[in-house]
Every structure is written in structure tokens, then in C-alpha cells.
Structure 1
Amino acid sequence: MKSLNRSQRSRFPIPFFGLALVLLVFLASPTRSCTEQEKSSLLQLLAGLSQDGGLTASWRSNTDCCRWEGISCSLNRMVTDVVLAYRGLEGSISPFLGNLTSLLRFDLSHNLLSGGLPLELLQSSSILVLDVSFNRLTGGLSELPSSTPVRPLQVLNISSNLFTGRFPSTIWEVMKSLVALNASTNSFTGQMPTMSCVSAPSFAVLELSFNKFSGNIPPGLSNCSLLKLLSAGNNHLSGTLPDELFKVTTLEHLSLPFNWLEGELKGIINLTNLVTLDLGKNEFRGNIPESIGELKKLEELLLDHNSMSGELPSALSNCTNLVTLDLKVNHFNGEFTKINFLSLPNLKILDILSNDFTGTIPESIYSCSKLTALRLSFNHFHGQLSEKIGNLKSLSFLALVNLSLTNITRTLQILGSSRSLTTIFIGFNFLHETMPEDDNIGGFENLQVLSMNYCSLSGTLPGWLSKLTKLGMLFLQSNQLTGPIPDWISSLKLLFYLDLSNNSFTGEIPTALMEMPMLKSDKTAPKIFSELPLYFFSPFVEYLKPGAFPKVLNLGINNFTGVIPEEIGQLQGLLLLNLSSNKLSGEIPQQIGTLTNLQLLDLSSNHFTSTIPATLNNLHFLSKFNISNNDLEGSIPTAGQLSTFPDSSFDGNPKLCGLMIVNHCGSAEAASESIISREQIGSKVIFAIAFGAFFGVGVLYDQMVLARYFG
């Protein structure tokens, strides 16, 4: 867009001396201001704003509007630019702006404007660049009258608004100079609009992603001889890629992810100028054709989450400019060694998660010195991790989940030499080995995420973890670790996500856990920068957003004893607290009620006694709550947050009463129900055990299935 502005300013070249003469005459002539009509039109815009971003101080009716903030004029004092981006403007866009007959550039992007887009702006006989992106504009775009003459608009950016309805077809008929259209991130429906490139021969950029367009990709693309970018991801498009598309040989960026597109990729090799090919998260099938090697300029190849299969063609090695290769969640198979990574010196991201590759990890991968992210998880590789991985000096993200790796001590010693690593996933490996102790492990100065889950590792929490001063997330669930949690845990000052569930830890919950700085602070956890999206699954919540994760303390399914320390009230940052399935006793501390950020609280299957603290009603963000299978008594609060949870949250506490469970407080029926025969109790216990076993198997199955998409 900047280049357009520069070219527009210089489209009438004036010799230097001529320009000096014009300026001299202009400066010597009496001062002229903008016309009253233009000033009035701009003031109409100001009048329609409820928040004007301080414009009132500059936009005064008794001053020259050419000197107002955000306004530029030509030498003959006609308004040419209205640029008011990032001003915090609220209100509507005045249709009177259409009266600015010399306006070239109109930019109200990144504000909070509402209402519709005035048709007068689209019908302008002068505007070249119209940008109202990143606002709250609503409604549909009106069809232009058939009598509308040709308009000079070159760039139209209406992205990131709330527009709805079908995209008007008449825009193409009158915008014969259109070069770029960005209508992404709205709610447009109906058929995807295709430009009539016969009418707009210079059209080069069409961005329609994040809408609700449906149906097939319509015809008309073959006429777009200058089209360089076509992006329509995150819609509801279906069918196959039309043959016409493969005739647009000027295409450099083709991005159609998150749709329902299908078919094979045979014709794609005609697009020899492609730099980006993103067809991920569709229903494409078949293999990658051997002719892929003809795409010499290709830098990004993203085919993830499809149903593609077959062996990778060796010709992929000819795409020597590749920077990103993402093939995850497909059915590719065969030897991965067919790709000669020595010929891919620019490769930064390699992701083949969840395929059927076999053989060994190719040694040539370690020649890709620019590699920052490597995810090989859930394939059928065999063999051990090579020491040559230390050659990858830029490697930040590494995921080797479920690759039948053995010798965890040696693996960690090798990885410790990779100083740039921030994220390591090596779970589902090293089965029944022992967690290595202090003397064997070093390095990891920059590690933020460490996952060694589902390994059935024995031993205790090793002291070398205390040296990982930048660690923010630690996943050790589903191992066989024992012993108490050591006090050095509180020295991990950045740790905000700790999952030690499903182990055999013993002892009391240490007060050191209550001193963890990030869990005590209610400030947002530091963002985890990751080269690839991180996927985690707990029994309750699945987090798919990369970067920002909740503060979690999960100690469920262990052998902890004693009481919950009253200092638990210090953990003001916690969003999830799980202490279920332990041997904890005593009262539920009232201090938990001060953890007002909690969204999940699970204290089930312990030996808690006494009443439910009324302070728990202060947990207004609580969406999941479970205190079942304890020995609690008294009434369940009938008002507040706790009254919104189902009876299953309170099951297995025969001394509890309340409106949401069978045992109603204070009624004759409750009194009779409280005298239950041993036979009845026995039957309930049997049912509870059977239900628990069924539920446990279900959760285990879910975790096993969903685990295919972790790391």
C-alpha cells in the first residue's frame, strides 16, 4: 500500500526548477484554505463520533482543514488524504465524506467504528485506497447501481469487521482499476466472489479468509493473468480445486486451509511461481506428485490434517528454497530417508506429527543448520537419538513423542547440549526406565516447556530440574514417580503449569508449593513462545491456543496424605486446582474461597470431613467443580455458584443434603432417606465402583486417542 502512495505522489513528474517555480508562486500568493464544502464534510465525520481521539482540539471550524490532524491537501488546497488509523475513534462513518471530490486515500483502520460502510465511499470518483479494516462495521455491502460509472479504486481493505450477507457482484463491474481486495475476517456468506479479471486486468490480491463462504470455488480465475495471492482459508468451501486455478501461473501465494476441499494435487505443479502453498485442514487425498520438484520457488508447503498417503517423492529435495514443511496428521508412509535434507539448507520448520513413516530418522536432517522446530512425534521410527542433533544450533522446539526411544539418561545428556531449546516433548518413550539423577544431566538454560509424560518412569523428582530457571510448564503425569515433592520446587520462579498427576507421590502437600511466585501472582502467565502450536489435554479442558496457557496445579491420582495447607489461599493466580484421588483428610480450608480466578476445582475421592465452606460461593468463574466421594456433611449452599453444579459433583457424601441431590435438608423424607440399610449402601458402592471404572476407562481411552495430537 505504501508503494501505491509513493507512486501516486510521483505520477506527474515535474522538473526540479519547475517545481521550485510552482512553490515560489504558491508561497508568494495569498494564503488559501480548503473549501467550505470540504470542511463541512469533515466536520460531519467529527459530529458522528462519540469518541474522537482528541480531534476536536485540531478540527475547529475557524481554521484551515488542511492543517487538521490526519488531513493532507494538494497544492490547490483540496483534501487528498484522510488518515486517522489507531485513534480510538468510536461512532459512525459519515456519508458526507463522499463529497471530498479530490480524496485519494481514506484510512480509518484500527478504530472502534460501528454502523455501515457508506455507499458514497465505494462510489467515490477519486478514492484510490479505501481502508476501514479492524473496526466494528456491520451490515452488508450494497450493490452499486447499474448506472455507476467506472471508479478508480485500486485498494479496498474492509477486513476484520462484522460485515454479513453476500459480497456484491457489481463491485467487479465498476472497479476496473482494482489491484487488491481484502475482505477477510468478516461473516460474508454465499458463494466465494471471484474477480472478473477481464474487467480488472491488474487485479493481483484477493484475501477472503475467515468468512462463511460456501460451495465450490467458482469459475473465472483463468482470466486473472496477474493474480499473485489467493487466500480463502477458514471458510466452508467444498469440491475440488478447479482446473482454471492451475492456469493462473502468476500465483505466488495460494492459501485455502480449514475448508472441505478434496481431490488430488496433480495440477498444482503448473503453478511454478508458487512461494506458499497452504492446503492444510481439508480432505485432500492421494500422494504428493513427483513433479513437486518443479516448484523451485516454493518456501512453504503446508498439507497438514488431510487424508494424503503414499511415500514422499524424492523430488521434494529439489525444492531447495523450502523454509516450512508441514505434513502432520496424514497417512504418509515409507522411509523418510528418501528426502535428502542436505539440499534443503533453508529449512526452519519440519512437522510430520502423526503419520506412518518407518525406518530411522534421517541423519541428513541434522545438516539443516537453520532448523528451529522439529516435530517427528507419533510415527514408527526406530533407533536412538543421534548426537548430531547438537549441530542444530538454532533448534528451539523438539517433539519426539512415542518413537520407541530408550535410554532416557543418554537422551537428556544429548539434548542438554542444545542450548537454544525452549520446548521439549519426549513423552510415551523410555517405558519403565528410571528418572536420571543430578550428576548425569546438565544444560537446558533456556528451557520453558518440558514434557516427559506417560513413560512409566520410576524414581523421584530429580534435583537437576531445580536448575531449569526459565521453566514455565512441567508435564510429568502418568509415570511411577514416588517420594515427596521436594522443597526446591518453589525455586522455579517462572513455573506456572505443574502436572504431576497419576504418579505415586507420597507425604503431605508441601508448603513450598504455596510459595511458587507465578502461582501466587494473579498476573497473566508469561507467554510461551513456540515455533509450533502446543496442544494439551487434561481430563477437563483442552487448550489449543498457542502462547497463552492457564496457571495449573494438578496433583490428582497420587498418595498424598494430611490436610490441605491453609497457605493454599496464597495461590491467587490458579485457574485449575486438582487434588482428586489422594488420601487427603481434614476440612476443606476456607482459604480456597479466596482463589477467585479458579475455573476448575476437583477435590473428589479423598477423606475430607465437616461441611462445605461457604466461601466457595465466592468462586464466580468456577465452571467445573467436584467434591464427590468424601465424608462431607451438612447442607449444600442453595444460593451462589455451588448451586449451579449437578448432583454428580456431590455424589458419595451420604451426610450431605441439599436441593440438588436426593437427600433434601430438614425434611421428613430426608430423615427417612438418611437411614439406609447396609444392603442399600453396598449396592450403591458397587454401582459407584462400576461407574468409576467405566468412567476411568473412558477418560483413559480419550487420553490415548487425543494423545496422538500432542507434542
Structure 2
Amino acid sequence: MRSVHSRLRRVIAAAVLLLIMTDVHKSLQAQAATSSDFTAEQQSNTVKFLQRFMSGATGLQSTWTGTGFCRWPGVTCLDDATVKVDLSSHALGPSVTLQELGDDIDGSQVMVRELRISNQHASLSGTLPESWSSLAQIHVIELEHNEISGTLPASWCSMTALTGLYLTRNTLTGSLPAAWACMAALKELRLSANSLSGTLPASWVSMGSLELLNLLNNAISGSLPTSWSSMEALSRLYLNTNRLSGPLPAAWSSMTSLRTLALYENSLSGTLPVSWANMGSIETLSLSANTLFGTLPAEWGEMTTLRTLSLGNNTLSGALPAEWDRLSSLSSLTLSFNDLSGSLPASWGTAPTLSTVSLNGNAFCGCVPEQWASLVLFADDWMGADDCATTNVCGSGDGALSLEQSNTLKFLRALRSGSADLQGVWTGSNYCAWTGITCTAGGIELDLIDFPLTSSMTLPELSESIDGSLVALTNVRICNADTKVSGTLPASWGRLAKMQSVDLHGNAISGTLPAAWGGMTSLTTVYLDTNQLSGPLPAEWTAMRSLRTLMMMANALSGSLPAAWGSMSGLGTLDLGSNSLSGTLPAEWSSMGSLHIMTLSSNKLGGSLPEAWGSLPAQAFVFLTSNAFCGCVPASWLSLTVSVDASVTAAACATENDCAASASSSSLSPSESAAPTTAPSSPPPSAKPSGRSLTVLWAVLGALGGCLIIGVAVVLVLWHRCRAPTSITSPKGEDEASTDPYTESNEPFSSARSEAV
């Protein structure tokens, strides 16, 4: 037994010795003898190249000595008389830069085949040397994770032997050199995580050997070059996280070697090309976070090599194609946060390799099919609810939403994103059943007057994917005594062509009045009073031809009264009181032929009262107190009920309140230049100026009661607006069930993705 153990030990020792001798032999073989494997010119130029770099690398100066560079740390001489330099794990020193070759170095005789100096971070900086273009022997340059800056040298196209160029995670800027198209031997190019800009060079199609191109996380813009469809060797292409725009080129279907295509986080638009079904080798296709629209092509079911497909965070619509159950290699599918709708195809549950499906943030109806039981499914909770068959009914056909339903749903989803409270209750498939929403034959009404908001709410802008003309919302009322709507008025709401009433009074909305709201030509009532709005009155609002009531008192509006508003012939009630409006009363406003009540009190208005206003509708009520008007109430105003300051009704108003004198003392405030009356008065002026004092007395006594009644009525109406619905159309009965298959997710927007990088 002892002899067996002894023989075993001798065998093991012999084996170890053999391995050691083999390694030594390989090492000696790899170490080229300077005299036999390099010419004197090759040795001289290679030493100079390495020494020039070493001159700034203090960490190498003590070890890179003499001329026997084959023995220097990080330097390996290969048996084909070339040199491999790998300093990625060496400490070079605090501040090292890449050096130009200099006139004394012949680049064609520098025998460095591979140069790898990565992970030095701030220790390696400077720019890429132009003169390196003469390094005829170089095959690989790897300078990743450093602080190299500047641009990509166009002259490097002369490195015709280069097969791999790796410059990821530096601070490079500028554009991609079109001249690099002559790098015919280049197989791998990594330029990701820099600050490169410009467009993708169409000329790079000449890189016939290129297999990997990684440009992710830069600032590259422009469109995808159609010509790249001829890059037959390209198998991995990463262009994600840039600023690319335009459509997906249908011609790219001829890139038959392409296995990975990452285009997510750009601004690409258009539809999914049907022709891409011919990408015979594609395994990973990532198109998430763009602005792609249209339907999912049924033809893509022929992409039998596809393993991962990511289409989330776009505006894709329509139903899920049953034909995709033929994706025999697909394991992961992401369709989250689109506008997809309809029922879930049961046949997808039988796809042989499908394991993970993300569908949340869409508008699907019905329930999760039992055939999907083995899948890892990320979907909205209501799709798996016990009552999904009754509360999430698909209706007729495939259950896909109409364009009007889809756009309305997108708008409500955007509105929900501005309120943490709504995110918790606006769930389910039928938004007609959501709290505060009433669906009628005339449209959708939103009334959150009694909804218990616990946190502030903001109003969203409409994304470009929302067609405002197809949003069915007609009435919005959000005024809550406890919690305020803040932020600004979204200008893009001007695209809501069907909107009839907006009531946002009593909130904390700031900013200016959007001129674009003139586009809401169906608008009849606007309540924006008691907010923090500022700026001028938009002349563009004259386009609101249907407007009947406009309430904007108690804000900080300024500027003059737009003369163009005189064309608002349908306006019946206008309240601009308690603002900072200035200037004079436009004579053009006399054309407001439907006016019943106008309030301009407590502003900074001045000048004379226009004679033309006498043509306003008889018995119209005009409130002008606490301003700085001069002169007298015109005789033409006899038919109006007016509340003004005593200065324009006094017997001597023509002399004591003369407009010329008022102009000379315009620096005085309204309270200094005209003391307001203690009670509202609306004196109808006499036809004869000599009887002005009697007319004023009659006006005060006769109109006081009427104005008091109207004032009380206005207060009651304003208070009541937050207690009773102001619906334009009749609400549906309590027993009227909605049959519209509207769906919505209860998840906030998520940008989390699993992408190949």
C-alpha cells in the first residue's frame, strides 16, 4: 500500500513539473528575442513610442528601463514579432496624457499590435493623437473608462489594420468622422457613454467587416441611415439613449446578420415596419421609450429567432395579434405604457418559450386567460380581479378602443398623473365608472368638487400623441376648499376642441392666460376667479365664439382691456374685478350685444367713460367702482344700470373731474383721485345734462335695491358653484350602465426597463 502511495506521489510530481515546463516554454516562446525577431529599426521605433508614453507616466519610470521592452511590466512580445501593451491594471501616475509620435518616430515601424490602457479614470486624459494614424501595425486600441477629451481624429482612417477600437466612457465630443468609412478591417467599434453629437454617417456602410457598433448614451441626432441596410456583417447595433428621430427604415430588413438592435430612449416615430419580419437572425429588439405609433404587425409572428422584444413607453394602439403565438423563441415581451386595448389572446399562453410578459399601463379588457397561468405577467391589478368578467367587459369585436376612446383615455391618464389621490382610485377598465366622471351621449364630464383631495394637484400638458379634437371631455370642474390645484394653465388644452366648460376657481393656479386657449372654440363658460394668475388678457381669446360666461376676478391680471374682445358678441357675463388692469375702456366693447353683467371694479382703469357704451344691451349691469375714471357719466348710458365712483356722478363732475386735469395728476392712486361710494350705485344719466343731480339721486334710490339683490345673488351663485354640479349636459341616471369598454392602468409612468446594453 505504501509503494502505491509513493508511485502516486511521483506521478503527481512529474505532472506538475511537466505543466511548469510547458508554461515556461510558452512564456519563452511568447517572449521574442530582440536581436532575432525585431529589426533594429523596429526595435528603435517601438522603444521610442513606449518611452514617449512613459515620460509622463511616473508609475512606469522605475520599471521601464533600458531598451529590452519585452521584459517591461505590461509589455508582451508575441512570436509574430509584434508587441502587446496592456496597462489597464497598472498605476501609471497622477496625470498621464497620450503623446504624439514626434518626427523621430516612424509609425510604420512601431510594432505595437495591441494597446490597452483602460480604467485609469482621471489619471489618463488629454486628446487622441492625430499622428497615431501612421501606426500601421496596430490592430486593437482600448482606452475605455478614462478622461480622454477632444474629438475623434478623422486621420485615424489610415489605420487600415485596425480591427477593434474601444473608447467607451471618456469625455469625447464632436461628430462621428465620415472618413472612418475606410476602416475596412474594423470589426468592433465602441464609443458609448461619451458626449458625441452630429448624425450617423451614411458612408459608414463601407465598413464591410463591422460586426459590433456601440454608440449608446451620447447626443447623436438625425435619422437612421437607410444605406446601413447593406452592412451585412453587422450583428450587434446599440444606438439607444441618443436623440435620434424619424422613422424606422423598412430597408433595414435586409440586415440578415443582425442579432441585437437597441434603439430605445430616442425620439423615433412612425410605425413598426412590416418588412422587419424578414430579419432572419434577430434575437433582441429594443424599441422602448420612443414615439412609435400604429398597430403591432401580425407579420412579426414570423420572427422565429426573436428572444426579447421591448416596445414599452410608446403610443402603439390596437389589439394584440394572435399571430404572435408563433414567436417560437420569444421569452420576454414588454408592451407596457402604450395605448393597446382589446382582450388578451388565449393562444399566447401556449407559446413554447414565452415566460415574461409586461402589459401594465394599457387599456386591455376582459380577464387574464387561464392559458396564461404559467407566465410571469406584469399587468394592471384589475385584469386579475375576481369580477373582471363583469367590470372589464370587452364589448363587441376584439374590444379595441376607438380613436375617441383612446385619446380620451390618454388625456385622463395624463390628468391622473398630476394627482396622487387619483392614482389610487382611477383604476379599472371603464373610465365612465371612475369617481367624478359622468359619461353621457353628449360627452364626458369631470367633476371633482366633492372628491377628497389630500394633496396638491397639477394640470398636465397634452402630449403630441393625444389628438385634442378626439378627446370627448366637455366639462371640467375642479375646485376644492381644502386642497388646491397649483401650477399653470396648460397651453396645449387649446387643442381640446370639444371642451365646453372649465371651472377651476378658488385654486392656486399661477402663470399667464394661455393665448392658445382661443382654440377651444366650443367653450361656453370659464371660471378662473380667485387664483394667482397674472399677465395680460389674450386678444386671441376672441376666437372663443361660443363663450357666454367668463369669470376671472381676484387674480393679478394686468395690462389693458383688449379692444378685440368687442367681437365676443355672445358674452353675457364678464367679471374682471379685483385685478390690476389699466388703461381706458375700449369703445369697441360696445359691440358686446349679449352682455348682461360686466364687472371691472377694483382695477387701475382710467380715462373717460366711452359714449359708445350706451349701445350696450338695455338694462345691462356695469360695475366700475374703485378705478380712476374722469369726466362724467355719458348721457348715452341712460338705459344701463351702472355702479361707479361718486367723482363721475357729482353735479360738478365736468369741471371738478375734468379729464385734462386728471391726466396731469395721473400719478395719484384711484383712492386719492376719486373716493368710492359707500354703496353700489348705477345712475342712469339724464337726457339733459342740466338735470344731472336729479338723475344721480334717482339712480341711487332706484338702483340701490336692484344692485343689492343682484350682488347677493352673485355671491350665492359663486358659493353654490362648489356645492352643485354645473353640468352642461344631463347626467345619466343612477341605473344607466355604461357599455363603453374603457380601460386604464393604476400604475404611474415607469421608465424602468430591462434592455440589452
Q: TM-score, normalised by structure 2?
A: 0.45
Greater helix content = 2
Relative contact order (alpha carbons < 8 A, sep ≥ 6): 1 or 2 greater? 2
Which of 1 and 2 has greater Rg? Answer: 2
